[in-house]
Chain A
Amino acid sequence: MSANPPIARVVVVGSAVPLWLCTTALARALGPIGVKVSAVELKTAQIPSQVYATLPPLESFHSKLGVEEAALLRSTAGSFSLGQLFVDGAGSRRPGFFHAWGSYGAAIDGVAFFPCWLKAKRHGPVASLESFCPAAVAAHYGRMIRPTVEVAALGRTEYAYHVPAMAYARELKALAPALGVTVYEEGAAQVVRSGTDGSIERLVLDSGRIVQGDLYVDATGSSARLIGEAPASEWRSWQAHFIVDRLLLARAPRFTSVPPFSEVRISRAGWTALNPTQAMTGVAHAYASGLHSEEEAVRLASRVGGSALSDITIQPVSPGIQAQPWSANCVAIGSSACMLDPIHDISIHAIQLGIVHLLSLFPAGTEYGAERTEYNRQMCSSFERLRDFQCAFYAYSMFVGDFWQHARRHVAPAELLHKSETFRARGVIAPMEDETFLAASWQALFCGLGIVPDSWGPATDAISPTRIAEQCQRMLEVIQARVTAEPMHDEYLAALCGRAAA
């Protein structure tokens, strides 16, 4: 091929889930081509109350990684998630809405459902958007639904997980030895750089041991231990777009019956998310420290999560992005590359995106400037689309309270503004590259926040309101029948975890 020796050693530095997700996924994919992966595990404070909500693509990522679903949910006491329920507890009496991992409604006479629904709404009362979504309806009844052939006939149905962070990290770490990963458990590591571009030459560990790699992955989370100190490091703050600067995490007892969705409760002073699992319920309360004190935050989180909160921690949040997540021979993955707002809990997905793109661009030689440029372009674009989705929740909310008033004063990025304006005008989602969330998610969010489009596409005009009403009624009945035939989430979990254990 060429004189350039290919990259042979990858060193991943970090802790907890980011470290072990990167390490195992890279080792699994790169092992067969002879790349050696090492993990330097830094001692950092673990947050025992943290429960990750994930996004549907994690399921296939796990399959490639060799993580079996039943085994994972059993050993971590995790659960399934069909989406997120948003409930307005701030007193505006606005109806809640459900952002489901699935599609809403089926096409009528070849025309997309959403504009038909808009038209039906204009002509009279019609069931809520989510009543046409099998995943949302199943969640409403506490049932688990999977994309079987019968279910898939009703539309796209996907699912994600709620998984306790510490148990998840433990399970991933357990995969490492079999994947040939060398693990260094160290308190800290000193980074030695060389060259004009600030390439990392080696890591000197606490123990005095030296670890060297051809490529380093910064999975140290928001502390950004490697990338943050790189000479080319440039942090771009997104604080102009986001109001939240504190996140309280706590543990609440498990629900007697585990809901297959997360709930985001809006209060006047922020929002509180409940991520249920079989072991406990993760509580996350986001607020702005300039408006509310820690005591108020604890009080609000307790009001939603119950009085028995434990393991309460409060961490700062400062959204922003590393202008070059891949700098010299260091690739930042996860919060070290981009600190996202906590809404929708997409931090695991952000890690997954970083890994997938790194693998698809994994250097073929030691010269990899082109790969780096492309990686940075793809990641920044992907992160910005995630940012837009999160920002929409604050910028277009109509909730009552000082937190929300301030939130609405923050600036919407240009791409989001374009998207929302297009939606307001025509009810369509402007297609953009590198989107994580599909049009159905955007529509559910915009509609849920109360945005009503001024018009819909002309194709809908060929269908009479009567025809639409009939078809809507039929869909509701079919979905109802299908969903009630699905198992309760509790039973499903018990059978899945129990049977696999036997």
Chain B
Amino acid sequence: MEPSHPSEKLRIVIVGGGTAGWMCALAMARQLPAATYGITLIESDDIGTVGVGEATLPHIKIFNDSLGINEAQFMRETRATMKLGIEFRDWNQPGQGYIHPFGAFGEPWGGVEFQHHWIRAQRRGASGTALEDYSYSVAAARANAFDFPNEDKKSIRSTYAYAYHFDAGLYGAFLRKLAVEAGVQRIEGQVCDCARDRLSGDITELTLKSGARIAGDLFVDCSGFRALLIGGALGGKWQDWTHWLPCDRAYAVQCERTGALTPYTRSTAQSAGWIWRIPLQHRIGNGYVFSSRFISDSEAQQSLLGALEGQALGAPRLLRFSPGRRLHAWSHNCVAIGLASGFLEPLESTSIFLIQAAVVDLINLIPAPHSRTSDPRLANEFNRLNDMQYDRVRDFLILHYMANRRLGEPLWDYVRTMPVPDSLQNKLELFRSRAALPNYQFGLFARDSWLAVLIGQGIEPSHYDRMADVFPMEALDEKLSAFRERVRTNVAAMSSHSEFIENYCGPAATAVSEGAEA
């Protein structure tokens, strides 16, 4: 259907062509009617993107699926691998580690959550087994195996989800191609000025270096750390969380892969932060997230280079950031998405999830096409949802730091003793008291994620739910051992991650499928 008047369209202008900008542009182009919404994206070839968010959460698959993205093609084009979770090494104390999987631990028996049964068995000394022995996805990860989850809910092979590691730069390019095909107008240029309505304070027009002027009704600030509109033009306030999350810099570098093609991200604690290892098809992404209060840039760079498993591909890039979030991500007629709206270190791979959640919420709350002034009621709801997402992720990240036994290391001593948000303190005390897990309906993370990290970071509950005692101990031992056996035998039948990638979406798979199409 043709629009009756072009001017009746709500003009959406997205500033910035990184992951956030193109995720937003494509989703909008697919989900907003073209007759009533016009979408323009301004990006500059001269400005690099951060592209650090190379590891993701399982939600990204829902996002891609909703946009009709073919998984194998997407993985091939972004050199992606599968991700079953994150391995945390040396976080609790050097030499110890655990995996936070995208999957369940055990199953509830007699209406009692699994961890109570497990703790009870541990206390009785009957079966001194590790929590991870009851996670199908951890076992698969340790075996460097991968297969798609089974649809049959009764199968143990259905008890996990998966995400991806990919080249975020390529993902952006992949989305850009689709978005432009879907009708997004792409403008190359650098924004150098921003005009605002004197009365309402709304943004009316952007001026590019070329002199071109781009008018709009709704502006989406995806300009990353620079926060051109929300910070620069509107002066939106920032809530700083450095006192809880002291890391404020990162060195990032890619290297050749010599180790295994792991179906998981690795995070290894360091004296002043942590190093990530993200396996892609053709290389390994590495980075040292550190606190400038506790280590110099050059020492951090040395530590990173020393930790690489293969030849570095280029020189390490330094990123500076401050953890926190925008007080109001949606202000006037400007919505900040991605790094312009807040920053949380990539410890739990939440950056792309936070973009996705904001994009979904923005589309649901998008101003009606006929509206020419911004509706604060929609902005208030968007901000409430956005704040909730950020605050919940924040608490989960702080947990990784505060619960540590790395005595005598200044950063770790600081985070172990700092006061934490009440919302986190209450969760911790409840777990310590009765092994109860946080249970909220909205936002990250789910109970099993909390369980993995609480136990992994060495937090010992003093009790478990007494209802677990109803089970006869012998029957419980049998159930536990049968469950471990199910995990073992099923994982043994899985294909290796590298084989899976090669067959499904590797360069060889490209040749085969292209040949087949020819």
Q: Does A371 contact B (CB under 8 A)?
A: yes
Q: Mark A344-381, 1 if CB is under 8 A from B, else 0.
A: 00000000000000001111110111110110010000
Shortest distance in angstroms between B91's beta carbon and chain A's nearest beta carbon? 24
17 A–B contacts, CB within 8 A, in A order: A29-B467, A33-B466, A361-B434, A362-B467, A364-B466, A365-B462, A374-B426, A374-B436, A418-B384, A421-B380, A425-B375, A426-B377, A430-B384, A454-B368, A458-B366, A461-B32, A461-B36
Q: Does B195 contact A (CB under 8 A)?
A: no
Q: Does B160 contact A (CB under 8 A)?
A: no
Q: Mark A280-292, 1 if CB is under 8 A from B, else 0.
A: 0000000000000
Contact of A365 among B375, B377, B380, B433 (CB under 8 A): B433
Q: Give residues 432-448 of B contacting A (CB, 8 Å).
A: 432-434, 436, 440-442
Q: Mark B427-465, 1 if CB is under 8 A from A, else 0.
A: 001101110100011100000000000000000001111
Shortest distance in angstroms between B424's beta carbon and chain A's nearest beta carbon? 13
* Given A2-B463, A418-B380, A433-B442, A428-B434 contact (CB < 8 Å): no
Q: Does A149 contact B (CB under 8 A)?
A: no
Residues of the A chain whose Cβ atoms lie less than 8 Å from the Cβ of B434: 361, 363-364, 370-371
Q: Mark A363-401, 1 if CB is under 8 A from B, else 0.
A: 111011111011001000000000000000000000000
* Given A2-B462, A33-B467, A458-B429 contact (CB < 8 Å): no
Is A422's CB under 8 angstroms from B377's CB?
A: yes
Q: Does B201 contact A (CB under 8 A)?
A: no
How far, in whole Å, are A350 and B4 apart by their CA atoms in the complex?
A: 54
How far, in whole Å, are A361 and B429 apart by their CA atoms in the complex?
A: 13
Residues of the B chain whose Cβ atoms lie less than 8 Å from the Cβ of A368: 433
Residues of the A chain whose Cβ atoms lie less than 8 Å from the Cβ of B31: 458-459
How far, in whole Å, are A458 and B33 apart by their CA atoms in the complex?
A: 7
Q: Does B37 contact A (CB under 8 A)?
A: yes
Q: Does B363 contact A (CB under 8 A)?
A: yes
Is A6's CB under 8 angstroms from B466's CB?
A: yes
Is B432's CB under 8 angstroms from A370's CB?
A: yes
Q: Mark B460-497, 1 if CB is under 8 A from A, else 0.
A: 00111111011000000000000000000000000000
Q: Give residues 116-145 of B contacting A (CB, 8 Å).
A: 123
Interface residues of B (CB under 8 A from A): 31-33, 36-37, 123, 363-366, 368, 371, 375, 377-378, 380-381, 384-385, 426, 429-430, 432-434, 436, 440-442, 462-467, 469-470
Q: Give residues 456-484 of A contacting B (CB, 8 Å).
A: 457-459, 461-462
How far, in whole Å, are A374 and B436 apart by their CA atoms in the complex?
A: 11
Q: Give residues 231-252 of A contacting B (CB, 8 Å).
A: none
* Given A367-B433, A430-B381, A455-B440 contact (CB < 8 Å): no
* Given A1-B123, A430-B381, A457-B364, A370-B429 contact (CB < 8 Å): yes
Interface size class, chain A = 35 or more
* Given A422-B380, A422-B381, A426-B365, A1-B433 contact (CB < 8 Å): no
Identify the closest chain B residue to A458 (Cβ). Answer: B32
* Given A33-B467, A431-B441, A370-B430 contact (CB < 8 Å): yes
Is A425's CB under 8 angstroms from B433's CB?
A: no
Q: Does A424 contact B (CB under 8 A)?
A: yes
Identify the closest chain A residue to B377 (Cβ). Answer: A425
Contact of A362 among B123, B364, B426, B466 (CB under 8 A): B466
Q: Give residues 434-463 of A contacting B (CB, 8 Å).
A: 454-455, 457-459, 461-462
Contact of B442 among A363, A374, A431 (CB under 8 A): A431
Is A370's CB under 8 angstroms from B380's CB?
A: no
How far, in whole Å, are A364 and B432 apart by their CA atoms in the complex?
A: 11
How far, in whole Å, are A211 and B474 apart by their CA atoms in the complex?
A: 37
Contact of B33 among A362, A424, A462 (CB under 8 A): A462
Residues of the B chain whose Cβ atoms lie less than 8 Å from the Cβ of A6: 466
Contact of B433 among A29, A370, A421, A455 (CB under 8 A): A370
* Given A425-B377, A459-B31, A364-B470 contact (CB < 8 Å): no
Identify the closest chain B residue to A362 (Cβ). Answer: B466
* Given A33-B470, A367-B433, A373-B463 contact (CB < 8 Å): no
Q: Does A124 contact B (CB under 8 A)?
A: no
Q: Does A32 contact B (CB under 8 A)?
A: yes
How far, in whole Å, are A224 and B384 apart by their CA atoms in the complex?
A: 36
Contact of B436 among A29, A32, A361, A422 (CB under 8 A): A361
Identify the closest chain B residue to A415 (Cβ). Answer: B384
Residues of the B chain whose Cβ atoms lie less than 8 Å from the Cβ of A430: 381, 384
Shortest distance in angstroms between B136's beta carbon and chain A's nearest beta carbon? 27
Is B469's CB under 8 angstroms from A33's CB?
A: yes
Identify the closest chain A residue to B365 (Cβ). Answer: A426
Shortest distance in angstroms between B71's beta carbon and chain A's nearest beta carbon? 20
By Cβ-Cβ distance, the 4 closest A-B pairs, closest first, are A364-B463, A425-B377, A370-B429, A455-B368
Residues of the A chain whose Cβ atoms lie less than 8 Å from the Cβ of B433: 364-365, 367-371
